[in-house]
Amino acid sequence: MLLKVAILASGNGSNAQSIFDNMNCGKLDIEIVLVVSNRPNSRVLKRAQEANIPILELDHTLYASREEFDKAMIDALQKAQAELIVLAGYMRILSSYFLNQFKDKVINIHPAILPSFKGAHGLDDAYNSGVTLTGCTVHFVNEELDSGAIIIQAAIPILSDKPLEELEARIHKIEHKIYPQAIQWFAQKRLSIVNGKIHFIKTNTLNNKICIHNKDAYLIWPPLENSF
Q: Which residues bind ligand GRF (CB under 6 A)?
A: 9, 11-15, 88-89, 109-111, 136, 172, 175
Q: Find the residue with minimal CB distance to ligand GRF.
A: 89
Whichever of 147 and 188 has its CB closer to ligand GRF, that residue is 147
CA distance 104 to 68: 22
Residue-by-residue DSSP string for 164-187: HHHHHHHHHHHHHHHHHHHHHHHH
State the nearest-atom distance from the C-beta of 127 to ligand GRF, in Å: 13
From the list 60, 110, 121, 213, the catalytic residue is 110
Minimal distance in Å, beta carbon 44 to ligand GRF?
A: 6
Query: By CB neighbour count within 10 A (0-12 exposed, 13-18 middle, 19+ buried), where does 55 fall?
Result: middle
Whether 209 contacts 227, CB under 8 Å: no
39 contacts 9 by C-beta, under 8 angstroms = no
- Residue 62 amino acid letter: L
Is 89 or 180 the residue whose CB approaches ligand GRF more closely? Answer: 89
Residue 169 vs 212, nearer CB to ligand GRF: 169
Give 70 or 175: the residue with its C-beta nearer to ligand GRF: 175
Shortest Å distance, C-beta 36 to ligand GRF: 13
For ligand GRF, which is the closer residue by CB, 73 or 136?
Answer: 136
CA 81, 86, 91, 93 dihedral sign is positive
CA-CA-CA-CA torsion for 206, 2, 99, 198, nearest 10 degrees?
Answer: -10
In the complex, what is the shortest distance from the CB of residue 195 to ligand GRF, in angstroms, rounded to a whole number? Answer: 26
Nearest to 198 by CA among 112, 135, 107, 117: 107
Asked if 110 is an active-site residue, the reply is yes
SS3 134: strand
Instruction: List, in sequence order, every residue forming a beta bridge with 35; answer none if it has no partner.
Output: 7, 55
Residues designated catalytic: 110
